[in-house]
Amino acid sequence: MSSFLNIAAVSKRYGDVQALNNVSLEIRENEFFALLGPSGCGKTTLLRALAGLESLDSGVVTLANEDLLSVPANKRPVNLMFQSYALFPHLNVYDNVAYGLRREKLDKAEIEQRVQDVLKTVALIDQKDRRPSQLSGGQKQRVALARAIVKRPKILLLDEPLSALDKKVRSEMQLELKRLQHEAGITFIIVTHDQEEAMSIADRIALMDKGEVVQIATPVEMYSAPKTKFVADFIGTSNLFAGTLGAGTITTQGKTLPTPATALSAGSKAVLVLRPEDISLGAAGTISGTLVSSNFYGGSSLLFVDCGFDQLIKVSCALNQVPPVGSTCHLSWSAADSILLADV
Amino acid sequence: MALAVKSEGRDAIKRRALLSRAVFLVPGLTYITAFMLIPLGFIIAYTFLSRGTYGGIEFIFTTENYTRALDSLYLGVLIKSILIASTTTILAFFIGFPVAYAITKLPTNRQNLMLVLIVLPFWTNFLIRTYAWIVLLNTQGFLNKGLINMGVISQPLELLYKPSAIVLGLLYAYIPLMILPIYSALVRIDPAMKEAAVNLGATPAQAFRQVTLPLALPGVLVGAIFVFVPSVGNFIVPELLGGGKTIMVGNLIRDQFLKARDWPFGSVLALSMVLMLLLLFFIQARVNRRVLGDARA
């Protein structure tokens, strides 16, 4: 697999803030790639730099082996779907979508054809004479998407594309985006702070923190083999126990828990990561405590158990097995299912 | 039965909500009625009456006031006034727009400072500010003396007492009224708009022309009306800087009431100004709707 978009050692500083610190990424052709991270991690800065709306202090970016950074913003084969959508309020849906093609000086018949096609794809052909102010949030989002993909860019950048939509429309649009990406054969790079969204939509994820890439992996890898405590904490739900390693154990908050096989030496600082679904309830367990509350999530519930740690232990439980609040729970797990990370 | 009581209660709630909103309209409506609509009614009535010998009116119906307004002498004054006010408005746009645009590019605290500086001249008396131009521009004034001393000219230039001096005076007086609404329209434009245009392939110049300019148009129209309306009816600037030779419609109206004592004819002229204003607002509303669509839908 050859790299298509190659981002090598890019940095950007705003005054005292290091927005991007020596970031390197390789993104493959036709990949659905997610830049994930908390707000202020630099993901949007990177996206805007790829679009040419932000300059970089140092580093090299090549697209299909050609220097991208020396191409002016309006000539890049890269289109951005803005978080605010940035639809032109003085133009109707059709003219919004046609705007980019008209700048390419294509002939009228081709513009007409391509705009019609893309409006059919996003199911907005009946709204083509409407102004943006007359559209719903979901419709605006689709116009913004149509306006970007009609240009047939090599890369489509999406800046928090679904954040303004309510949950139900959002999951529909996630499917829609995946379908479109597949059909159009365009490389998608999506910026999001929502780990669930990144996990469900992307082929690969780069998790960023404080201007640096922490881990690049597929969603499954990132969930099952987080590289650092930050990744384990940010991706999915987990129970973290920081402590000192012994022989096959970790001492945390005065208690001793079993650890999986590790290359870390005894006596070093480490974090034990335990996913809620790897813990089971039984007659006896490694740790025990009182059920404080349970949150219902459709198919399963998340139990919060007070086992004498500073934090409540999160346990995933099938709906018909939820014990009454206040009862004693015995928690057990296979040490091999837990993850041990060096604590730096 | 219970249902009927409930629906009555709901109507009462609606009525009360409507009433409480109406209460807030009372001061504004009273003001407009007392100082705008009633006087306007008087003016309209006066236009059909005859002049009194020593001012005032006589209750004799006539349409002669209107036919007189169509006389080429008065029509010429009206056209000249419109020309001078239009020139002022267009110049104000070409000078004011870049200023407003430049201000939006400053850091926020600097923006506020610049806006205060632009409004600052309004804190001085209008008459004094206009007189200052005479001091600057007359044949013995600062400008002419300066140019003669530098050897640029040998004879003083006749800068005052012509239409260009009136335009200059009006432009100076009213350009803040062009800058402020354009500024407020420009700062409201989402910066992502221009970025989106560039991202879609527009050059910065195209992005400006196709996105920024149309979105600022409502502000430009407000500014144009704010400059045109006081310019066209102004009588201080033409009198001081125009030397009385170039009489504008404002001077004419004032003279009809205060010198010629022809109230009915003055009323016709005043009414024509009001009608022109209404026409401008109508055009502005149409263009606004065309530009921004119906935002309420």
Residue of A53, A76, A152 to mutate when probing chain B, most B C-beta within 10 A: A53
The count of C-alpha atoms lying within 13 angstroms of the C-alpha of A26, restricted to the half-sphere facing its C-beta, is 6
Q: What is the pLDDT of residue A3?
A: 80
DSSP string, B33-92: IIIIIHHHHHHHHHHTSEEPBTBSEES---SHHHHHHTSHHHHHHHHHHHHHHHHHHHHH
Q: Could you tell me if A150 and A289 lie in one domain?
A: no
Stronger pLDDT, A180 or A125, i.e. the higher one: A125
Q: What is the pLDDT of residue B1?
A: 47
Query: What would the two tokens of residue A179 be?
Result: 């379908």
Residue A189: inside a domain: yes
CB atoms within 10 A of CB B50: 16
The residues pairing with A271 across neighbouring beta strands, listed in sequence order, are A242, A341
Grade residue A241 by pLDDT with cuts at 50, 70 and 90: very high
CB contact under 8 A, A74 and B293: no
CATH number at residue B184: 1.10.3720.10
Residue of B188, B189, B200 to mutate when probing chain A, most A C-beta within 10 A: B200
The answer to whether the beta carbons of residues A52 and A46 sit under 8 Å apart is no
Grade residue B295 by pLDDT with cuts at 50, 70 and 90: very low
Residue B215: inside a domain: yes
pLDDT in tens, A61-99: 999 999 999 999 999 999 999 999 999 999 999 999 999
- How many residue pairs bridge chain A and chain B with CB atoms within 8 Å of each other? 75
Q: What is the pLDDT of residue A183?
A: 83
**If you average pLDDT over residues B202-220, what whole number do you get?**
94
Any idea which residue has 């007659």 for tokens? A283
Residue B73: inside a domain: no
Q: What is the pLDDT of residue A1?
A: 45
Q: Could you tell me if A24 and A160 lie in one domain?
A: yes
Residue A143: inside a domain: yes
CB contact under 8 A, B196 and A86: yes
Q: Could you tell me if A203 and A302 lie in one domain?
A: no
Instruction: Please say which residue of A174, A191, A224 terminates a domain.
Output: A224
A28: pLDDT strictly greater than 70: yes
Q: Could you tell me if A336 and A211 lie in one domain?
A: no
Q: What is the pLDDT of residue B291?
A: 77
Q: Could you tell me if A180 and A310 lie in one domain?
A: no
In this complex, the residue of A82, A90, A104 whose CB is nearest that of residue B196 is: A82
A22: pLDDT strictly greater than 70: yes
Residue B48: inside a domain: no
Residue A231: inside a domain: no
State how far Cα B228 lies from the chain centre. 4
CB contact under 8 A, A86 and B291: no
**Residue A323 DSSP one-character state:** P
State the ipTM, two decimals: 0.84
Domain coverage including residue B197: 84-246+268-292
pLDDT in tens, A276-327: 999 998 888 888 899 999 888 877 889 999 998 999 999 998 888 888 899 9
| CA separation for the pair A173, A167 (Å, rounded) | 10
Grade residue B56 by pLDDT with cuts at 50, 70 and 90: confident
Angle, CA B95 vertex, CA B91 and CA B96 arms, to 5°: 105
B152: pLDDT strictly greater than 70: yes
Distance from CA of A73 to the nearest CA of B (A): 6
Residue A230: inside a domain: no
Q: Could you tell me if A203 and A263 lie in one domain?
A: no
pLDDT in tens, B88-97: 999 999 999 9
**If you average pLDDT over residues B142-160, what whole number do you get?**
87
Q: Could you tell me if A197 and A245 lie in one domain?
A: no
Range of weakest confidence among A3-12, A184-193, B134-143, B162-171:
B134-143
DSSP helix/strand/coil, A209 = strand
B5: pLDDT strictly greater than 70: no
pLDDT in tens, A136-175: 888 999 999 999 999 999 999 999 988 877 888 788 888 8
Region of A301 (left: φ > 0; alpha: ψ -120 to 50; beta: rest) is beta
Distance from CA of A269 to the nearest CA of B (A): 46
Residue A320: inside a domain: yes
**If you average pLDDT over residues B150-167, what whole number do you get?**
87
The answer to whether the beta carbons of residues A53 and B195 sit under 8 Å apart is yes
Q: Is the dihedral of CA A128, A130, A133, A134 positive or negative?
A: negative
Q: What is the pLDDT of residue A87?
A: 95
The helix (run of H) or strand (run of E) holding residue B162 is none
Grade residue B264 by pLDDT with cuts at 50, 70 and 90: very high
Stronger pLDDT, B180 or A162, i.e. the higher one: B180
Mean pLDDT estimate for chain B:
89
Domain total of chain B: 1
Domain total of chain A: 2
Residue B205 one-letter amino acid: A
pLDDT in tens, A94-133: 999 999 999 999 999 999 999 999 999 888 999 999 999 9
Q: Could you tell me if A122 and A167 lie in one domain?
A: yes
Residue A232: inside a domain: no
The angle, 0 to 180 degrees and rounded to 10, between the axes of the packed helices B263-292 and B38-47 is 120
| CA separation for the pair B73, A105 (Å, rounded) | 54
Instruction: Please say which residue of A160, A192, A224 terminates a domain.
Output: A224
Q: Could you tell me if A332 and A250 lie in one domain?
A: yes
Grade residue B246 by pLDDT with cuts at 50, 70 and 90: low
Query: What would the two tokens of residue A68 be?
Result: 């991208």
Instruction: Please say which residue of A224, A246, A270 terminates a domain.
Output: A224
Q: Which residues does chain B have within 8 Å of residue A133's beta carbon, measured at their own beta carbons?
A: 292-295, 297
Q: Could you tell me if A99 and A165 lie in one domain?
A: yes
Q: Is the dihedral of CA B172, B119, B114, B206 positive or negative?
A: negative
Domain coverage including residue A10: 3-224
Q: Could you tell me if A193 and A49 lie in one domain?
A: yes
Is the CB of A152 inside 8 Å of chain B's CB atoms? no
CATH number at residue A13: 3.40.50.300
Residue B17: inside a domain: no
Residue A281: inside a domain: yes
| CA separation for the pair B20, B12 (Å, rounded) | 12
Q: What is the pLDDT of residue B6?
A: 56
H-only helix segments in chain B: 2-32, 38-47, 64-69, 72-104, 108-119, 126-137, 142-150, 163-188, 191-199, 204-207, 213-232, 236-241, 249-258, 263-292
Residue B279: inside a domain: yes
Stronger pLDDT, A1 or A186, i.e. the higher one: A186
Is the CB of B191 inside 8 Å of chain A's CB atoms? no
Residue B178: inside a domain: yes
Residue B206: inside a domain: yes
Residue B262 one-letter amino acid: D
| CA separation for the pair B152, B224 (Å, rounded) | 36
Q: What is the pLDDT of residue B219?
A: 94
**If you average pLDDT over residues A8-30, what whole number do you get?**
93
CB contact under 8 A, A100 and B203: no
Residue B258: inside a domain: no
Sheet hosting strand A155-159, strand order edge to edge: A78-81, A155-159, A187-192, A32-36, A204-209, A212-217
Residue of B195, B198, B199 to mutate when probing chain A, most A C-beta within 10 A: B199
Region of A18 (left: φ > 0; alpha: ψ -120 to 50; beta: rest) is beta
Range of weakest confidence among A159-163, B283-287, B293-297:
B293-297
The contacts of residue B127 (CB under 8 Å, 6+ apart) are B236, B240
Q: Could you tell me if A91 and A179 lie in one domain?
A: yes
The residues pairing with A239 across neighbouring beta strands, listed in sequence order, are A274
